[in-house]
Structure 1
Amino acid sequence: IFFLQIGPVCGAEGFYVSEITAFASPDSGCATLVDFIDNAKTSLYVNVYTFENALIAERIARAGARGADVIVMIDKSPVAGIPEEGKAVVSYLLSNGVQVYYSDDKRVRYNHAKYAIADNVSILITTENFGYSGFSPESSFGARGWGAVMHDAPLTRYFVNIFFNDLKYVEKASPLPAAAAHKNLKGKYSPAFAAENFKGNFFVVPVVAPENAVEKIVALLNSANKSLYIEQFYIYEHWGSIKKDTPETAPNLFLEAAINAARRGAEVKIILDSTWYNIEAEEPASNYNAMKYVQGVARKENLNLQVKLADSKKLGLEKIHTKGVVVDKKTVLISSINWNEHSPTKNREVGVIIHGEPAMYFAEVFECDWSGTCGSRKYVYIIAVGILILAIYARRKYSNV
């Protein structure tokens, strides 16, 4: 496996963070992101693979109108190209004075990161792009995603350095002709996870691809003793050549580390997305074949190792798009990294490993998706959202006095 070293990102091992807000999409993702943007005072820096959400674009433009230094960086050539909604967002931001750049970084294949930085002291890292699926204004519609807001100047400066180093490899965006697009955001998901604020002393380790992602994620998986929960958009059965290699000749280092955790006695559960293009049996690099491989190993070795394709219809979710791991219910990985070989070794990707209480929040999200029901969490969500609305109303009322 060939690893690239492309930037000054290998300074600190980790940071102690005193305040973290955990959130899940579609439940509380959009509200958390909007609140994060609305509270940016002096600067707002965004790096995201794709950006089609007009509501988020409007709030970013407002930040610029308030006098904040606003820079948005998006990938120049995403796999499916820039859709009409994305072209409209670029044109809207430019017309409102926002600096927009296309990442044209030849050091990496895709700029697939998903994060935002406010005032150089707070950072939001998520598994989701800035589209209607990842950050739906309607919490009954969207994909499952994870995210966290961390309030810590040293940690944030670490990612500011990455942002501006990557900004050296961009081209200035120009307005793009775009057709009007209408999004139907009606869904059947019952939101259960309001954003939750945690205060304490949480150790946070940056994960950055292609520099250190394989090393950090394998080490995290190797640390599992009791339980390992993995929820992924997709996992390749093996790395290397899709058609020529096998798990023996080119193992998926992440997947094999998860299997090894089960061999050590940990309970391992894996949820994979079940969208049609991810479960084609004739496609070697599909979730269906990854599932069959894992199930075969579990049967052969009698391991406490389970894998399932998410029942998105039962859950009411559009799809599973998160890229998350929870270890022993004490540590969580939130990142943009997919579990093929390309993502952690050839893309610009960003994530964090958070140690401590916030991990339990994501363990509960996982357990909801695993069981297909969130039970009493829905009542907690309703109460928490009510409190949040009152708090926002009070803050805005008194800030206008």
Structure 2
Amino acid sequence: MQPTDGMPFPDTNTRADWAQDPTDNVFGKKALYPGWDLDEFFQTAKSNAPATIKYCVAPDHLFECVRDEIVNAAATISMEMYSLNNAKLVDAITETLDAGVQFSVMLDGGALDAQGKWACQTIHAHGGQCWIFTGKPQSNVHKRYDNQHGKWIVIDGARVLIGSENLGDDAMPSDDPNNGTFGTRGGYLITDNPDIVNAAQTILDRDFDPTHHADVRRWGTNTDDFPPFGFVPDYENGGKGYAAQFPAPLTLHGAYPIELVQCPDNCLRTSDALLGLVAQAGAGDTLLVEQLYEYTYWGASGSNPSADPNLRLEAYLDAAKRGARVRILLDSFYDSFGDPRSNWATCAYVNRLAAQYDIQCRLGNPTGQGIHLKMVLLQRGATGFVHLGSINGSETSNKLNRELATQIESLDAYNYWADVFKSDWATTTFAPHRLWLPFLLRKGKP
């Protein structure tokens, strides 16, 4: 379908007409599974309605942001989350349940560990609902998405939280950050923009629909849903390894253009969404990327950037070739250096261009437990943009997962997150390069 209006491309009676075309890196090589709502969600949701936007940084103060939204809910809380295992946030949820607030959450069954099972059991005991997104192949039940990896919360139908972090201890430590903490770098947007709230709720309603989708079931309907007998939840988190740099959220009020981007439906659009945003970067502009990972290429592990390019990564490189200043910071904590598509390999691939263009790639771990952020910042002329959400740099994340992110135009928002980026960038000089050493022969032998 054409990005501008969703109408089909002209019919050529060839495989190029299909989204599965294996030769088209941009509009082809895509899947479509039963249960997807591609027609409804082909376009991204956009709004510039007057609203409050609030950005929170992990691990510095994200716990307080999320806890406060939960305990201040008046009527309803609806979540779609990959995992939920922060014991103190579970306590906040049960507090609101006991006060009469209705609560429901849908979690990915593949991420349901013992503490997550305890969380569901506790929520259920207090009158809340916990649902599991999972398949059952022996009954011919297959998941619509490879992973339900999105992370968003709708409060009272009036506010939405959308971010990069699961409701766990790593990103949301509850210790006092004033004397140091420890966790993952991440972030959330909180807004009361009515169009974005309604759009996020609509996605949740389509995903969280057990009447029409057999891959959603109530917690407790499977014997493996329960934690081990005698399980004791872990309340310990945080630490002293990271001196919190960002003590306060950023709160803005105004008519800021906001775009809601979701995978697999519309996150690879080239006219808007992330690729459309990055395509705006040119001479004199600045593009900052901070990600858990960006694969060097997509496709099979034995492929290469020419045959199966990572469209996101190539867009960053193209921005540098147009004259933009590009900086890419990827996680070193979780990286597998020996993988041909690792962050190490990606940085080496990027840094080969550093002599020709204003582009650099580094690996880092600024907050102790890795970079879990999924963020792209663009400063273009006198304005700035922030892309923030759950979308990673793999083909699975962009084409098979449920993911959610926001893009906001605001120079103040850009500057806030650019300060986070600059702080994290300054903690490392680890910039992998692929070295080609001379090969010496002596009498024809190596």
TM-score grouping bracket, smaller chain normalisation: 0.7 to 0.9
Q: Which residue of 1 aligns with 2:114?
A: 84
Q: 1:316 to 1:156 in 2, by over 3 A?
A: closer
Query: How far apart, CA to CA, are the structure 1 residues paired with 2:409 and 2:97?
Result: 34
Query: How far apart, CA to CA, are the structure 2 residues paired with 1:346 and 1:12?
Result: 17
Q: Of the candidates 24, 38, 48, which is equivalent to residue 16 of structure 1?
A: 48
Letter in 1 for 2:61: S
Q: Which residue of 1 aligns with 2:278?
A: 221
- TM-score, normalised to structure 2, is 0.78
3-state SS of the aligned residue for 1:50?
coil
Q: Of the candidates 99, 112, 118, which is equivalent to residue 155 of structure 2?
A: 118
Residue 372 of structure 2 is aligned to residue 331 of structure 1:
no
Letter in 1 for 2:192: H
- Per-residue CA distance 1:10-32 (angstroms, 9 max, x = gap): 46640124210111001110000
- Per-residue CA distance 1:284-326 (angstroms, 9 max, x = gap): 1211111111111333xx110000001x2xx343110000010
Preserved contact between residue 233 and residue 338 of structure 1 (Cα < 8 Å): yes
Preserved contact between residue 87 and residue 233 of structure 2 (Cα < 8 Å): no
Letter in 2 for 1:129: N
Q: Which residue of 2 aligns with 1:397?
A: none
Query: How far apart, CA to CA, are the structure 1 residues paired with 2:43 and 2:301?
Result: 35
Q: Which residue of 2 aligns with 1:235?
A: 294
3-state SS of the aligned residue for 1:256?
helix
Query: How far apart, CA to CA, are the structure 1 residues paired with 2:91 and 2:173?
Result: 14
Comparing 88-97 with 9-18, greater Cα deviation is found at 9-18
3-state SS of the aligned residue for 2:318?
helix
3-state SS of the aligned residue for 1:67?
coil
Preserved contact between residue 44 and residue 262 of structure 2 (Cα < 8 Å): no
Q: Which residue of 1 aligns with 2:304?
A: 246
Q: CA deviation at 1:143?
A: 0.4
Query: How far apart, CA to CA, are the structure 2 residues paired with 1:116 and 1:4?
Result: 26
Preserved contact between residue 185 and residue 367 of structure 2 (Cα < 8 Å): no
- TM-score, normalised to structure 1, is 0.87
Q: 1:67 to 1:117 in 2, by over 3 A?
A: same
Q: CA deviation at 1:40?
A: 1.2
Q: CA deviation at 1:242?
A: 1.1
- Per-residue CA distance 1:240-299 (angstroms, 9 max, x = gap): 1111x1101110000000000000111100001011x4142x211211111111111333
- Identity of matched residues, %: 28
Q: Which residue of 1 aligns with 2:244?
A: 191
Q: Of the candidates 303, 310, 315, which is equivalent to residue 257 of structure 1?
A: 315
Residue 198 of structure 2 is aligned to residue 143 of structure 1:
no
- Per-residue CA distance 1:53-105 (angstroms, 9 max, x = gap): 01111112222222222111100113xxx222212211111111110000137
Q: CA deviation at 1:3?
A: 4.5
Preserved contact between residue 115 and residue 227 of structure 2 (Cα < 8 Å): no
Q: Of the candidates 109, 126, 129, which is equivalent to residue 146 of structure 2?
A: 109
Letter in 1 for 2:377: V
- Per-residue CA distance 1:115-156 (angstroms, 9 max, x = gap): 100011110011001110011112312100011101122210
Q: Which residue of 2 aligns with 1:380?
A: none
Bigger Cα Rg = 2
Query: How far apart, CA to CA, are the structure 1 residues paired with 2:118 and 2:389?
Result: 27
Letter in 2 for 1:34: R
Q: CA deviation at 1:42?
A: 1.3
Preserved contact between residue 4 and residue 211 of structure 1 (Cα < 8 Å): no
Preserved contact between residue 231 and residue 366 of structure 1 (Cα < 8 Å): yes
3-state SS of the aligned residue for 1:271?
strand
Report the aligned-residue RMSD: 1.7
Figure out how many residues of one structure are paired with residues of the other and give that number: 362
Q: Which residue of 1 aligns with 2:77?
A: 44
- Per-residue CA distance 1:171-216 (angstroms, 9 max, x = gap): 0001512332543431321112211211111111000100001112
Q: Which residue of 2 aligns with 1:309?
A: 363
Unaligned runs of 5+ in 1: 374-401
Q: CA deviation at 1:112?
A: 0.2
Q: Which residue of 2 aligns with 1:162?
A: 203
Preserved contact between residue 187 and residue 316 of structure 1 (Cα < 8 Å): no
In terms of fraction of residues, the more helix-rich structure is 1
Q: 1:57 to 1:184 in 2, by over 3 A?
A: closer
Residue 166 of structure 2 is aligned to residue 129 of structure 1:
yes
Preserved contact between residue 20 and residue 358 of structure 1 (Cα < 8 Å): no
Query: How far apart, CA to CA, are the structure 1 residues paired with 2:241 and 2:44?
Result: 43
Q: Of the candidates 98, 101, 104, which is equivalent to residue 71 of structure 1?
A: 104
Q: 1:13 to 1:286 in 2, by over 3 A?
A: same
Query: How far apart, CA to CA, are the structure 2 residues paired with 1:3 and 1:337?
Result: 17
Preserved contact between residue 124 and residue 148 of structure 1 (Cα < 8 Å): yes
Q: 1:190 to 1:285 in 2, by over 3 A?
A: same
Q: After the TM superposition, which parts of structure 1 deviate over 6 Å for at least 4 consecutive aligned residues?
A: none
Residue 2 of structure 2 is aligned to residue 2 of structure 1:
no
Preserved contact between residue 274 and residue 287 of structure 1 (Cα < 8 Å): yes
Letter in 2 for 1:368: S
Q: CA deviation at 1:218?
A: 0.9
Q: 1:319 to 1:158 in 2, by over 3 A?
A: same
Q: CA deviation at 1:344?
A: 0.9
Unaligned runs of 5+ in 2: 1-28, 136-142, 429-446
Preserved contact between residue 183 and residue 369 of structure 2 (Cα < 8 Å): yes
Query: How far apart, CA to CA, are the structure 2 residues paired with 1:9 and 1:212?
Result: 7
Preserved contact between residue 142 and residue 187 of structure 1 (Cα < 8 Å): no
Query: How far apart, CA to CA, are the structure 2 residues paired with 1:340 and 1:49?
Result: 17
Letter in 2 for 1:246: N
